[in-house]
Each structure stands twice: as structure tokens, then as C-alpha cells.
Structure 1
Amino acid sequence: MKIDLGDLNAFVTVARARGFRDGARLSGASASGLSEAVSRLEAQLGVRLFNRTTRSVVPTEAGERLLDRLGPALSEVETALDVVNGFRDRPMGTLRLNVPVSAVRLALPAIVPPFLAAYPDIRLEIVADDNFVDVLAAGCDAGIRYDERLEQDMIAVPIGPRVQRMAAAAAPAYLDRHGRPGHPRDLLGHACLRGRFLSGAMPAWEFERDGEVVVVEPTGPLLVSLGTAVDLAVDAAIAGTGIIFLFEDWLRPHLDSGVLEPVLEPWWQSFSGPFLYYPGRRLVPAPLRAFIDFIRST
């Protein structure tokens, strides 16, 4: 049985994206083209690979088993073909990165434009995702995360600012009305603007001063999805709705302009910046190697 490699790639793309439209958006192909390729593959194999409804496209048991075996195999094919990149004057190909929204905003703007200028034959795809995922299973070459969320078998390379802080801030008018907290526990009596990950986890607010660490879980009138809706919380803080707790660099323009005022600044906790991470058990594709070399040199 001769199976077209493009049809297999189409199947993996749709299975990982859980849909033809999302698969088309991620791959640059057309949804109709992916559908035709999957139908052709199902016809050749004589088995249904997806259960399709108007709302979802979910792999069947046969589809799941095929994906488990086929995903790593196709990755190895891509890696093998990528070897020829070493014989080119300039690396080419696609580099897919899974990145938290904070890194998209705070780390990548200073890196992406000069990198693409230096490597015009590389196409960079950024998938913004605040959930921790298996980068290979997600169809990505590497990811960016903070050290507490890195797996032990990953290779990690520093990227972006090496020291960051979480900052609390509020509009001066809000603080004039409700008072300025002198200790992190005072936040329990304030309107605080919280965030929650898509997983449902709601991170506590952590402060530190002279070796004393204080963790609080305040309440307030607004809860947003971390990453995707954080700017709404920032706007609400500027409007005087309450106190926000976010990356200092994210809030810095508003702090400098005066529309937000620092809250409990002596208690702001520092932590190490993000890392680019990738599995160490496979050959590094040329576009990823170029990106690693670039961030190490900057």
C-alpha cells in the first residue's frame, strides 16, 4: 500500500488541531484541502480516522493509535530532511514556538524582528498558550517557559530579561478613596483584580521583603483569563476599579505615566526570566539552532 506523505501530514495536522479550520490556520493549508487528504487516507486505509460533527473533529480509537505512532515518525522524517540545511549558506524552514502571552509581550518584541532580518529564509510561527504543553505533541519545535515549569529532560536556554518582578499597582484615585496598603495582608480588605489560567488554577499573590515571604489570596470584582484577557484587568485598574498584580514590565508604561501608582513596592518579589526549552533527545532542526545561536549572541 502506497500512502502519500502529504496525506499523513494532513492527518497529523488535523488531529493535533482538533479541527480542519484550526489545522488550516496553523499549517497554512486550506480546510478543504486537509479534508480531501484525510478522506483519501481513510479510503486507502479502509477505516474511519475521525468522528466528525458540526462542532468537533475528534480522532477515533484507530486515529489516536495512528497519531501516537505517526507523530514521532514524521518528526524524525522532518529532522532527517533538515540535515541538508547544514549544507546551505543560510538555514531555511519553519520554526514553531509555543510561548506564554507574557513572553510574547515582554521578551519576543526585541528578538523577533532582528532574528527574521538575519534569517530571511526562516518562517517563524508563534503559538501563544499559557498552559504547559508537550511541545512536540503540539507540533512545535520548542517553547518558552519559566524555570519552575520546565521538565527535567529539557534543554533550557535563557531568553529575554534575566530578572523580572511581579508588581502591584492601582490608580491614584482608587488609593485616595480606599487607602494605601502598608503590608500584603492589607490587600485582603481591598478590591483586587485576579487572574485565572484556563486550567482553572488561580495563582496567589506572593510578596517578599527581608527574607519574609507573604502569600495572599485577595478577592475582588473582576476575574480574567491570564494571558488572553489581562489587558482588560489593566484597563480596569487604570479606571480605578481595584488593585492589579502583574509583571512589572507589563505595567511599567502606566507606572511611568502616572496613571497607575506602585503598591507595596518594597515587597515586590524578583524571579529569574524565561527560558527557551526543547527536548534533548532529538537532533535540533536548523531553524531552531539558528534561533538558539541568535539569542545566545544577543
Structure 2
Amino acid sequence: MNNDLQDLFAFHAVVQAGGFREGARASGKSASSLSDAVRRAEARLGVRLLNRTTRSVAPTEAGARLLERLVPALAEVQAALDVVNGFRERPSGTLKLNVPLSAARLVLPGILTPFLKAFPEIKVEVIVEESFVDILAAGCDAGIRYDERLEQDMIAVPIGPRRQRFATAAAPAYLDIHGRPTHPRELLDHACLRGQFSSGLMPAWAFERDGEVVQVEPTGPLKVRIGGAVDLAVDAAVQGLGVIHLFEDWLEPYLASGALEPVLEPWWQTFSGPFLYYPGRRHLPAALKAFVGFVREGSG
């Protein structure tokens, strides 16, 4: 790969990671080599591509315009180079996955280790992010999301459990004091532990029984960012602070031990499981192709 192209890859890596040090960690190169590459690209093009401060870097208007055309082009270059990888005896390369925390916790543990043992020359990077992202623009090969959040032009492959439920639960001590709800609307009189996306959206709690669907938006003493802070809400529920509404598989250890007691179980809503999604390409990167085949085989 000539220096011009390497420098453009370096520029993309820095912007994608949000800094030279972060880009170095993500790309496996040194921060100084990335800085030199960006300077070379700027000198060659005759424009500044990045605004640099002591705390961050951001693309200039020229850099942003370049990125708009560069991201899909670099993806095609990488795909073209990866075609050669298909002639290797065993596939290699790095697979970058963008997934929500629920998938990282409940879906991937049973898949990644056997996959990496089966394909020892492949490396996997997992980026945990709750919001839906353009996986190509984010520098990822594939993502995991639920069907209501998939783009229509993506190829979707079932991954993990095909049916899941949201469970509602609270500590027995809390329920002994505040009572046990018999209808979802009674949760409006309870202390409920809510989750909120980074966008500010706070999803309602949905329930269903005998064709009746009920959505409630209860309040309570604790609200956490959906993602890394969810375990804080689980711990608070176990300690008797209030009622929690979360994936049944996530709460199962606490339900099994008795630390949490099911609430409104006949109303727990079932929904379809997640999908591995990726752009339709004629030539998939070897690592992604191997992973898709492994997932298909496991779900077959």
C-alpha cells in the first residue's frame, strides 16, 4: 500500500478514535507516526484536515468533506485487499463489532470464545454502544441490534436467543413493605428504577397479557444511563430501593437465588431476539465472512 493511502488511513483512524493516542491504541501504531502521517496528507493536499487542541482533535470543514468520500472508499480498498485473504488456508484479520451492552453480556459470551478457538488467526474488537450507528462510518464490520433498529439495506442474520422477555422484579423486603402489584398500572404507585438512553429517550415499560398491551412510565428515586450503569440499578433493586424492568436473562441469577422476586410475571412481554447485521457486499472481509458462517451454523 503506497504512502498516500496509508496516510489517509491514518487520518481516518485519528478522527474515528477522537485523538492521536486513541487512534494509536485502535490501529496498533504509535501516536507520533499517526501525527506524521496526517501532516504529510495535509502538506500533500495543501489544506488543514484537523483542528488540534491540547484536549481533542476534530476535522476541519475540508477534513469533514474528505471523510464523507473517504470512508466508503477506504472500506472498498480494505475489502479488495481482503479478497486475497480468501486464498489463505485459514482466514485472518480483525473483526470489529458494534453491539449494545445487552448483547455483550447475554449473547456474545457463548459465541466469541468458541469462534476465536476455531479461528485462531482472527482477532475481534468489540465496541459497546447503545445508540444505533452507521457501522461503516464508525469503522466497524458488523453490529448487533434488534429488528426495530435495523436499516433496510442491511443483511441481518439471527444471533443468540430467538425469543427473549423483559422481566420485572424487586427485592422481597421491598415488596413486603410496599405491596405486590397485580396490574402494570399499579407500578405508578411504586418506586421504579429507570433507564435512559444517551439521546434522552427513556423507554416506557411494556407489558402484555391475553392480547392486552399496557405501557407505563413510572417514576422513582434512581435513573441510570442504559449501558454501563445498568448494574447499578440492579444492585439498587437487590438492596430494596425499588422495582426494576430488564432482560430476564440478565436478572435470572438474582431471581434464582431469591435476591429478587418476580413481579407481574404473567404480563412479561416476549420479543424477538437480536440480529447480526452488516452491509451487503460482494466480497465480505475474511474475518466477517468466517463469523457470519459460524453464527449461521450455530443457529441452524
What corresponds to 1:273 in structure 2? 273
Q: Structure 2 matches for 1:49-60, cutoff 5 A?
A: 49-60=49-60
Displacement of 1:44 in angstroms is: 2.3
Q: How does 1:202-221 map to 2 (within 5 A)?
A: 202-221=202-221
Partner of residue 116, structure 2: 116
Indicate if the aligned counterparts of 1:3 and 1:41 stay in contact, CA closer than 8 A: no
Please show how residues 32-71 of structure 1 align to structure 2 within 5 Å: 32-71=32-71
Write the distance in 2 (CA, Å) between the matches of 1:135 and 1:283.
Answer: 17
Match of 2:187 in 1: 187
Post-superposition CA distance 1:20-47 (Å, at most 9, x none) = 2222232222223222221222122221
Q: What SS is found at the alignment partner of 2:86?
A: helix
Unaligned runs of 5+ in 2: none
Tell whether the 8 Å contact from 1:188 to 1:216 is kept in structure 2 after alignment: yes
One-letter code aligned to 1:213: V
Shift of residue 280, structure 1, vs aligned partner: 1.3
Deviations 1:130-160 (A, max 9, x none): 1000000000011000001011111100000
SS in 2 for 1:287: helix
Residue of structure 2 equivalent to 1:100: 100
How far 1:87 moved relative to its partner? 1.1
Give, in angstroms, the shift of residue 51 of structure 1.
0.8
> 3-state DSSP class of the match of 1:87?
coil
The answer (yes or no) to whether the contact 2:190–2:243 under 8 Å persists in 1 is yes
* Identity, % of aligned positions: 73
Correspondence list, 1:62-101, <5 A: 62-101=62-101
- Bigger mean CA offset, 82-91 vs 129-138: 82-91
Q: Deviations over 1:6-33 (max 9, x none)?
A: 2111101112222222222322222232
Instruction: Give me the TM-score of the superposition, normalised by structure 2.
Output: 0.96
**1:228 maps to amino acid:** G
Aligned to 1:285: 285
Listed one character per residue, the Cα deviations across residues 203-231 of structure 1 (whole Å, up to 9, x for unaligned) are 00000001000000000000100011000
- The whole-number CA distance in structure 1 between the counterparts of 2:219 and 2:21 is 39
Distance, in Å, in 2 between the alignment partners of 1:24 and 1:216 is 46
Q: Which residue of 2 aligns with 1:238?
A: 238
Shift of 1:239: 0.5
In 2, distance between residues paired with 1:21 and 1:226?
Answer: 27
Deviations 1:147-182 (A, max 9, x none): 010111111000001110001111000000100011
Farther off after superposition, 77-86 or 110-119: 77-86
TM-score (norm 1): 0.97
> Where does residue 222 of structure 1 map in the other structure?
222
Contact preservation (8 Å) 2:83, 2:283: no
Alignment length, in residue pairs? 297
Mapping 1:170-185, distance limit 5 Å: 170-185=170-185
After TM superposition, give the deviation of residue 281 of structure 1 in Å: 4.3
**Correspondence for 1:30:** 30
* Partner-residue secondary structure (3-state), 1:220: coil
Q: SS state of the match for residue 47, structure 1?
A: coil
Change in CA separation of 1:3 and 1:69 when aligned onto 2, cut-off 3 Å? farther
| Distance in structure 1 (CA, Å) of the matches to 2:269 and 2:77 | 45
- Please, which runs of 5 or more residues in structure 1 have no aligned partner? none
- The amino acid of 2:168's aligned partner reads A
CA distance in 1, matches of 2:136, 2:283: 13
Residue pair 1:49, 1:59 contacting (<8 A) in 2 also: yes
Question: Structure 1: how far apart are the matches of 2:281 and 2:81?
Answer: 17
Equivalent in the alignment of 2:251: 251
Match in the other structure for 2:147 = 147
Paired with 2:286 and 2:234, the residues of 1 have a C-alpha distance of 39
RMSD, matched Cα: 1.2
CA distance in 2, matches of 1:88, 1:191: 58
Mean CA deviation greater in 46-55 or 155-164:
46-55
